[in-house]
Amino acid sequence: MTLAARISGVGRYVPERVMTNEELEATVETSSEWIVERTGIRERRIAAPHETTSSMGTEAARRALASAGITGAEIDLVITGTCTPDGLFPATASAIQNAIGATHAGAFDVNAACVGFLSGLATGAQFIATGSAERVLVVGAETLSRIVDWTDRGTCVLFGDGAGAVVLERAVPGEPGSIDSLLLRSDGSQAGLLYSHGPCSPLVDGLQQEAKIIMDGRAVFRQAVTMMCDSATEVIARAGLTVDDIALAVPHQANMRIITAMSDRLGLPMDRVYVNVDRYGNTSSATIPIALAEAEAEGRLKPGDRVLFASFGGGLSWGAMVIEWAGVGSRRLVAASAARSAGA
């Protein structure tokens, strides 16, 4: 299965505020050495009081639009993957749609925890494949610092805030750029391993339960490695490829030990795996688009490269995707550039 949708723009935004491991040493019983050894995380970004999931998502979206060389008015649909929306409704995607001037676009959120961005990307590609949309903006944005229990050393060291975005557009036959295969899965029977209460959760003694991240770290670790490896193996095979064909893997950035375990099991060398978990921690739906934007900025991708995405999260949910990288710039921008070059 190949979907004629290509990524033509990427953008990222992370808050200015950096919280180091050393800061956490002063509030919970932990050490920077322990955090690095167990997770690979050295620091994470924390949203300023005035920042929200939609404001961070908007900035990432604007940068993705600039990367593609288009305006918000050319977007047909905005999809935001998030488990920390600004509110229950309207959708965070609607706030982003308004802020970028996507006046002709529909907008909705996808909540699949850390798999939210991949779920949004898969959904947007289907809209393009059916002819319902020409260009789709997919955002992954989170303000996890506001649902972290800062007294729980098992979770507070892991999470951070940030946003990433991509522009998807219809691919032209014969040119690089497509979604070669995708897989999304969920096992709701294991929801108790990683979850958060919300404003509509059952009352306990007449009181609303606090919305905080609750996680069984050891159980999630074991499941995560299996989920990411199995789904990655399946989408590579579905695409008619082998691991050797993958130029770069951009996995969910939850824990360095999970990433290295995935690398080992797949037989994919770490020099072909993008890692930034040490600087941002786990930003849930935002990890993959932030990492993808950084990989593109660092020159780690070239047209025709096969790129692997793999993720897991609460639900439990997991998924993977193989895309063919096209390079940034919408068809309109690329065509205009080619015309200028020919004229010169």
- Specify the 3-state DSSP secondary structure of 101: coil
CA distance linking residue 45 with residue 340, whole number of Å: 41
- Choosing from 21, 83, 252, 255, which is the catalytic residue? 252
User: Catalytic residue at 114?
Assistant: yes
The radius of gyration of the chain from alpha carbons, rounded to an integer in Å, stands at 19
Asked if 170 and 110 touch (Cβ cutoff 8 Å), the reply is no
Neighbouring C-beta atoms of residue 27, cutoff 10 Å: 11
| 117 C-beta neighbours (distance < 10 Å), count | 34
DSSP result, 281-330: -B-GGGHHHHHHHHHHHTT---TT-EEEEEEEETTTEEEEEEEE---SS-
Q: Report the C-alpha gap between 211 and 149 in whole angstroms.
A: 9
Amino acid at 247: A
From 114, 156, 229, 255, active-site residue: 114
Which among 125, 142, 110, 135 is positioned nearest to 4, based on CA atoms? Answer: 125
User: 47: how many CB neighbours lie within 10 A of its CB?
Assistant: 24
Would you state the structure tokens that stand for residue 294, as one six-digit string?
Answer: 């950084």
| Distance in angstroms (rounded) separating the CA atoms of residues 240 and 314 | 30
**Residues 6 or more apart from 324 whose CB is under 8 A from it?**
6, 176, 177, 178, 179, 180, 304, 305, 306, 307
Q: Is 83 a catalytic residue?
A: no
Rounded CA-CA distance 136/122 in Å is: 11
Chain-centre distance for alpha carbon 52: 17
CA dihedral 298, 166, 284, 296 (to 10 degrees): -10
Residues forming the active site: 114, 252, 282
